[in-house]
A = this chain, B = another copy of it.
Amino acid sequence: MKEKTICMVGFGNVAKAFARLIQRKENELKDKYDVAFRVTAIATGRHGRALDPQGIDLTRALELSAAGKKLDELSKTSSPDSIEDFIVQSRADFLLENSPVNYENGEPALTHIRCALEHDMHAVSANKGPVVHAYHELKKLAGQHQRKYLFESAVMDGAPVFSVFREALPAANLVAFEGILNSCTNLLIELMEQGKSFDEAVAYAQSIGIAETDPSGDIDGWDAAIKVAAIVTVLMDTPYKPQQVERQGIRGITQAEIRQAQKDGSRWKLVCRGEKIGGRIVSKVAPEMVTPQSPLYSVSGTSSFVLFKTDVLPGLGLLESNPSPDTTAYGLLADVLNILKTE
């Protein structure tokens, strides 16, 4: 049986869900994939660090985190000051990068991933920032070190947006796509359909942890634009920045417009579009009214959907319903296992 070690940077909801997932699947992974995982390093932003080459007790780490305590007591060796040195010292097979998204430049996740690849570690991350800011660089770097950089959970959580093309659809070329890629705005519009004002909807979404304290990244369409840029960058193999996406958020939609759409049997949705025309990319994020005849109409709550148009399949849709940190964590595990099958 293979033993593989993991260094986790970030220990938030998704990382904790990943820890629980590999615990729950321990026997299945041994039986079907002939692999056992050992988390040998965990670095957090505010709750300390743990480093143990023999493997950190994940149950204990989850308990400490739940109690708001620091992880340092789980360390068997002293941790270096810098996070890069910490990653290097972990000597793990995989870096699992879970630090917060940064739309501007992808940092600090980008530096962590670069560091891991340079030191012959695979890198897996749900972070969209490094994808849009450095995908082609990181892919090349990974190749130079015979390692992989995967990021399935960066778009639509654990739904196989990237892997379906990479693993299952050989010789399929993406021509265009449309979809609902931002959960938060989709929920906000639905709350407004239920009669809440925009501010009430935002406050409610914040109270259940869907909207951030500063919700402008979602509301103004930045999160959707970064996902459009990620799909263009990776699946159309064309470096593309969120700033290049024609972008309009949902602030302009009034309750009157939402009510009128409902009367007409339609719904407002924040729709993402991208298309390769000749060698040129045309892309857009903007509110659109959709009718029940559209597959976008029934995408409700925090669900998401993308319809791909390829040169071989004219319409292939992927729907992800009921996402949670658990589904994002599964996307990370799928990346890890998909990397292992190439070794």
> Are B294 and A298 within 8 A (Cβ)?
yes
Closest to A322 in B: B314
Binary contact track A287-305/B, C-beta < 8 Å → 1, others 0: 0000011110111100101
Mask of A250-294 contacts with B, CB within 8 angstroms, 1/0: 000000000000000100000000000000000000000000111
Chain A: residues with Cβ within 8 Å of the partner, total of 50
- Contact present for A319 and B319 (CB under 8 Å): yes
Known pairs A168-B338, A317-B318; list 4 more (Cβ under 8 Å).
Answer: A29-B171, A312-B326, A316-B321, A317-B320
Q: Counting chain B CB atoms within 10 Å of each CB, which of A172, A295, A341 scores highest? A: A295
Residue in B168, B297, B313, B330 whose CB lies within 8 Å of A163: B168
Query: Would you give the shortest CB distance from A37 to chain B, in whole angstroms?
Result: 12
A171 & B334 in contact (Cβ 8 Å cutoff): yes
Complex Cα distance A200/B152, Å?
47
* Alpha-carbon separation in the docked complex, A319 to B295 (Å): 9
A295–B307 Cα gap in the complex (Å)? 13
Interface check A138, CB cutoff 8 A: no
A171 in complex: contacting residue of B168, B316, B333, CB < 8 Å? B333
Asked if A334 and B168 sit within 8 Å, CB to CB, the answer is yes
For residue A44, give the distance in angstroms from its CB to the closest CB of chain B. Answer: 25
Expressed in whole angstroms, the Cα–Cα distance for A257 and B318 within the complex equals: 31
Chain B residues with CB under 8 Å of A320's CB are: 313, 315-317
User: Cβ of A303: which chain B residues have Cβ within 8 Å of it?
Assistant: 315
Check A315 against B307 for contact (C-beta < 8 Å).
no
Residues on B with C-beta less than 8 A from A159 are 313, 316
**Partner of A170 from B166, B300, B321, B338 at Cβ < 8 Å:** B338
